[in-house]
Structure 1
Amino acid sequence: MTDAGAGDGGGREVTLYEAVGGRPFFDRLVDRFYDGVADDPLLRPLYPEDLTDSRAHLAGFLAQYWSGDTAHYSDGRGHPRLRMRHAPFAIGVPEAKAWFGHMEAAVDAEDLPDDVAGALLQYLASAAGHLVNQR
């Protein structure tokens, strides 16, 4: 992604984090995602009753992933260790598909340029597949 309005007209690389407007975007994305999870009979049992911490952790992780700034997640929670953190939960292909479906709906609810939405969805699909630990 380039910023065509950059000073000398040469354009500068704009990170995806900047393109979506920073942390507020990830907070909105995660809120929409968890609104879907809250009513999902397959996924809801995998989460604690109170989703407040889950929302903060996921938004912080995604903001860190896309910004590179560890203050969003790792400074408070340590290395993400996604597979290890999710190992106690039975995550099969149906759960991964449901998780991605809610994320896809959350991304689609934003008015994002195709390249930005595509990059987000590609990463989220990969992450969903990566966490499958049951056949």
Structure 2
Amino acid sequence: MTDANATSLYDAVGGEDTFRRLVKRFYEQVKVDDIMAPMYPDDDWEGAEDRLRWFLIQYWGGPRTYAEQRGNPMLRRRHFPFEIDAAAAERWLELMGNSLAEIDADTIDDAQRHALWNHMQQVAYMVINKA
């Protein structure tokens, strides 16, 4: 941002609490999903949740915990070990969309929701690595 006084989206939507709720709800769905669950190791659900939350928080202007813990995001590279096709990307978006929809408009307004969703779509399609 060019304006040092501008509020980040992270702060505008309620900070860590909002991202924690979003990611927690997302992984509650992933754990029982026939397409998504097999991509995650059973013994690292908490770690997966932490990493996604840290990434989103950092991307949207919050603390840089992701970089401190994991370095550069390198999303395509980090997801390359997983076979991600268009169906998996669509399911990821469906589950994230469900999670985002559960957060009220007083917390995330339409413009913020649009910005979040646009980014989610870009990332989901960017990590596709299988036709």
Q: TM > 0.5 between the two?
A: yes
Number of residue pairs matched by the alignment: 123
The percent of aligned pairs where both chains have the same amino acid is: 37
For the pair 1:99 / 2:89, whether they are aligned, the reply is: no
Cα separation, partners in 2 of 1:104 and 1:30, compared to 1, 3 Å: same
Give RMSD over aligned pairs. 1.1
- Give the deviation of 1:13 after TM superposition: 3.1
For the pair 1:56 / 2:63, whether they are aligned, the reply is: no
- Whole-Å separation in 1 of the counterparts to 2:124 and 2:80: 13
- Give the deviation of 1:15 after TM superposition: 1.6
- Whole-Å separation in 2 of the counterparts to 1:133 and 1:65: 23
Counterpart of 1:120, as a letter, is L
TM-score (norm 2): 0.90
- Give the deviation of 1:131 after TM superposition: 0.4
- Whole-Å separation in 1 of the counterparts to 2:80 and 2:55: 17
- Give the deviation of 1:68 after TM superposition: 5.5
- Whole-Å separation in 2 of the counterparts to 1:26 and 1:113: 14
- Whole-Å separation in 2 of the counterparts to 1:65 and 1:85: 16
Deviations 1:29-56 (A, max 9, x none): 1000001101100111000103010000
- Give the deviation of 1:27 after TM superposition: 1.0
For the pair 1:46 / 2:39, whether they are aligned, the reply is: yes
1:115 corresponding residue in structure 2: 111
SS at match of 2:60: helix
SS at match of 2:42: coil
Unmatched tracts of structure 2, length 5 or more? none
- Native 8 Å contact 2:15 2:62 kept in 1: no
2:73 corresponding residue in structure 1: 80
